[in-house]
Every structure is written in structure tokens, then in C-alpha cells.
Amino acid sequence: MAKIAVLDKNMINMIAAGEVIERPANIVKELMENSIDAGASRIAVSVEDGGKRLIQVTDDGGGIEPEDIETAFEPHATSKLRTMDELLGISSMGFRGEALASISSVARVKIKSRERDSISAYSMEIDCGDKGAVTPVSGDYGTTLEVRDLFYKLPARRKFLKTVNTEMGHISEQFTRIALANCGIEMKLSHNGRLLYHLLAGDDVVSRISVLLTKDIAQGLVPVLSEEKDLTIAAYLGHPSISRTTNKFQYTFLNGRYIRDRFITHSLKEAYRGLTEPNRFPVAFIFLQMPYDMYDVNVHPTKIEVRFDNPNLVHSQLLGVIREKLMSLDLDVEAGSGE
Ligand code: ADP
Ligand code: MG
């Protein structure tokens, strides 16, 4: 008798979910990125019990047509990518078509969506992969996703979730990363009915840093700009004296996507060499703009790492512009006194 069989579809999705959905914050990220890709000008995130009970994301973006709602929850179903060529220059936040399939395989999900030219909204519920019917309902333009009781059918995964405060910390961090990269979008974050942040469209990034992180960090950030053919760098640099014991206040964004990259970390370290104590991490917010076909985001499911075609270009231009700026400041080089 044959011993090998292809797994049932719900099982496949549930296993795949492990790659991107570890905790509520991952869901917040995926849903907010979908709202951005849908062209939203407003995104409201509302969570209960650190996202363990409920994560709700509402946007005023383009919506999904009723015929597409079911398909959106299929694995590898995306409206953002059609050809191999497109994959090499992808500009949207999403493209793997995995998030909705994964999330809806490990929680109770409800979607409600209305397109701009539609007279009705449409809704569907999915309970750990089991889809209900798509039905017309009343509702505003845009899309709302509700995700309840994450991992309720997977007690081992559910047990791994941390306290409400810890999970809320992770959610806040994801929200911050997305908010800093998208100052043109109005954003709200609420927890258990309490509004934590309300960011207005058109804020400048330093005021968002001040609200989302701390005033101390935001004050005195030094802006620099470097525009070359293939790379534009806009950065906000912390004075060497406010360098930290961790790299928590180093944020890098590439074409609006939060990334972690060792070349960038290294060039920052080099640029501040001699100005901070060696074991300290400078504070810096770095926004890179580069043609989409000069790097690959399809390296890791969470897309937090990218592969640059020319990492040396990034490293040297960044090091150059930051070092030059720091040298032009009248620095009182008394390294690393702040915390
Ligand atoms: P991906 O973002 O990689 O395409 P997802 O599983 O996150 O995959 O979403 C699947 C599809 O559902 C998207 O390609 C998009 O067409 C649609 N979609 C998801 N969220 C939204 C939203 N908030 N507004 C409009 N369309 C959405
Ligand atoms: Mg997506």
C-alpha cells in the first residue's frame, strides 16, 4: 500500500502559516501591508488582548470584488504578480499570495470589502480554513479584516504566545515600522478600546518618531540627503552622544519596506567609528530609494532581508554621506554618554 500522500489543503496552509505567522504582530504587518498595496489613505488597527483575542484592520483602499474574495484566501493567490519578469522588479509590499491563506488557516477570520464603484460590501467568514459563503452586507468603501482567537486549534502554538504586554510591544513595533515608512497615510492603533496612536496623513517623519518612539530620540536628529543615479539616501542621524547599548533605534527602509541588512549596519558602525564607544549603537533612521530591479526581496518569507545586486554601492554611499555629515558637525567627542 502506498505510504506517501499529498496533505489535505487545510493542513498544507496551516503548516505554511508557520513561516510567516508566529505571533499577532506578524498578522498586523501582513494586513497593514495589504492595505498599503490597496492604495489606502487611512488604516485603523484595533486589537484586543495583545492581538490574541482580536486583530482588526480597516482601510479605505480599493477593495476586493465579490468574485475574488474566496480566491484571495487560496494559497499563492495574488493580484500583484503575474509573470517571472514582474517578480524581478516587484514594487508592492506583498506578492507571495500567502498571508490571507496562512492567517485564515490558524484563526477565525472575517472579511468585509467594498469596491469604490460597488453599491454593496461583501463579507465572508473562514474558520481555520473552512470557508463560509460570500454574502452582501452594508459597509463603507475599503476592506476590513478581523482575525479572532489566533491558534485556537493549535494549543501548542497558542501556548507559545507571550503576555498581553509583550505581544502588544511587538505589535507596536510593527506598527511603528510601517508608520515611519508611510507618512502620507493616516494611521490609528487601539488596544482594548483605548486609542494609543493617531497619526495624521502628511506628518513629517521626525514628528512620527517623536510620537511613536521618544521625544528624546527625535530631538536633535540631523537630516542628510544624498542623491545618486541608482540610490537616494535620506537619513536622520542621532548625535553620537545618544548612542545606545542595543541597535533598537536603527531603522532602515528600502523603497518603503523595513529591512535589516548587515552591510547597512556595518556602514553605520564605520561612520560613527571613534565618535561613540565601540560597543555602542548609533541612533539612525535611514530611508533608501533604489530601482526595484536592483535588489531581490524574495529571500525570506517575511521579506525582512533583501539581496542587493551591488551591496558595495549601498555600503560606500551610505558610509560616505554619514561620515561627511558627522565630520561637519561641531562634535564634542565625548563618546557614548547617553542612554
Ligand atoms: P499578497 O499580498 O502577497 O498578494 P495576500 O494573501 O496578503 O497576498 O492577499 C491576497 C490578495 O487579496 C491580494 O493580492 C489582494 O488582491 C487582496 N487583498 C488582500 N487584502 C486586501 C485589502 N486590504 N484591500 C484590497 N485587496 C486586498
Ligand atoms: Mg499581502
Q: Based on the domain organization, do 50 and 147 belong to the same domain?
A: yes
Give domain status of residue 164, yes or no. yes
The DSSP code sequence of 225-243 is EEE-SS-EEEEEE--GGG-
Q: Based on the domain organization, do 36 and 133 belong to the same domain?
A: yes
Q: Based on the domain organization, do 117 and 221 belong to the same domain?
A: no
How far does the centroid of ligand 2 lie from the alpha carbon of residue 206, in Å? 28
Q: Based on the domain organization, do 150 and 281 belong to the same domain?
A: no
Q: Based on the domain organization, do 42 and 70 belong to the same domain?
A: yes
Give domain status of residue 4, yes or no. no
294 φ/ψ sector (left φ>0, alpha ψ -120 to 50, else beta): alpha
Q: Based on the domain organization, do 178 and 38 belong to the same domain?
A: yes
pLDDT of residue 333: 55
Give domain status of residue 264, yes or no. yes
Number of domains in the chain: 2
- Would you give the distance in Å from CA 117 to the centre of its chain? 29
Domain termination site, one of 199, 228, 253: 199
Nearest ligand 1 atom to the CA of 95 is 3
Q: Based on the domain organization, do 153 and 278 belong to the same domain?
A: no
pLDDT of residue 17: 82
Q: Based on the domain organization, do 164 and 245 belong to the same domain?
A: no
Choose one of 56, 100, 143 to mutate for the ligand 1 pocket test, by most ligand atoms within 8 angstroms of C-beta.
100
Nearest ligand 1 atom to the CA of 99 is 6
pLDDT of residue 63: 98
203 φ/ψ sector (left φ>0, alpha ψ -120 to 50, else beta): beta
Query: The domain containing residue 317 runs over which residues?
Result: 216-328
Nearest ligand to the C-alpha of residue 87? 1
Estimate the crossing angle of helix 164-181 against helix 24-37, to 10 degrees: 20
Q: Based on the domain organization, do 186 and 293 belong to the same domain?
A: no
Give domain status of residue 334, yes or no. no
Give the phi and the psi of residue 145 in degrees, each rounded to 5.
-115, 130
Estimate the crossing angle of helix 205-212 against helix 164-181, to 10 degrees: 170
Give domain status of residue 333, yes or no. no
Question: Is-contact 93 37, C-beta < 8 A?
Answer: yes
pLDDT of residue 89: 87
Q: Is 271 exposed, middle or buried (0-12, 13-18, 19+ CB in 10 A)?
A: buried
Beta carbon of 36 within 6 Å of any ligand 1 atom:
no
Nearest ligand to the C-alpha of residue 96? 1
Q: Based on the domain organization, do 187 and 315 belong to the same domain?
A: no
Choose one of 78, 86, 134, 185 to mutate for the ligand 1 pocket test, by most ligand atoms within 8 angstroms of C-beta.
78
Note the pTM of the prediction, 2 decimals: 0.95
Question: Is-contact 29 103, C-beta < 8 A?
Answer: no
Give the phi and the psi of residue 236 in degrees, each rounded to 5.
-120, 115
Give domain status of residue 261, yes or no. yes
How far does the centroid of ligand 2 lie from the alpha carbon of residue 39, in Å? 13
Dihedral sign for Cα atoms in the order 22, 27, 32, 34: positive
Q: Based on the domain organization, do 83 and 190 belong to the same domain?
A: yes
Distance (Å, rounded) from C-alpha 310 to C-alpha 322? 19
pLDDT of residue 9: 85
CATH of residue 194's domain is 3.30.565.10
How far does the centroid of ligand 2 lie from the alpha carbon of residue 258, in Å? 15
The DSSP code sequence of 8-62 is PHHHHHHHHHHHH-SSHHHHHHHHHHHHHHTT-SEEEEEEEGGGTSEEEEEE-S-
What is the ipTM score, two decimals?
0.99
List per-residue pLDDT tens for the chain, 339 residues long: 889 999 988 888 888 887 789 999 999 999 999 999 999 999 999 999 999 999 999 999 999 999 999 999 999 999 998 888 888 888 999 989 999 999 999 999 999 999 999 999 999 999 999 999 999 999 999 999 999 999 999 998 999 999 999 999 999 999 999 999 999 999 999 999 999 999 999 999 999 999 999 999 999 999 999 999 999 999 999 999 999 999 999 999 999 999 999 999 999 999 999 999 989 999 999 999 999 999 999 888 888 999 999 999 999 999 999 999 999 987 755 444 444
Q: Based on the domain organization, do 195 and 220 belong to the same domain?
A: no
Three-class HEC string of 157-204? HHHHCCCHHHHHHHHHHHHHHHHHHCCCCEEEEEECCEEEEEECCCCC
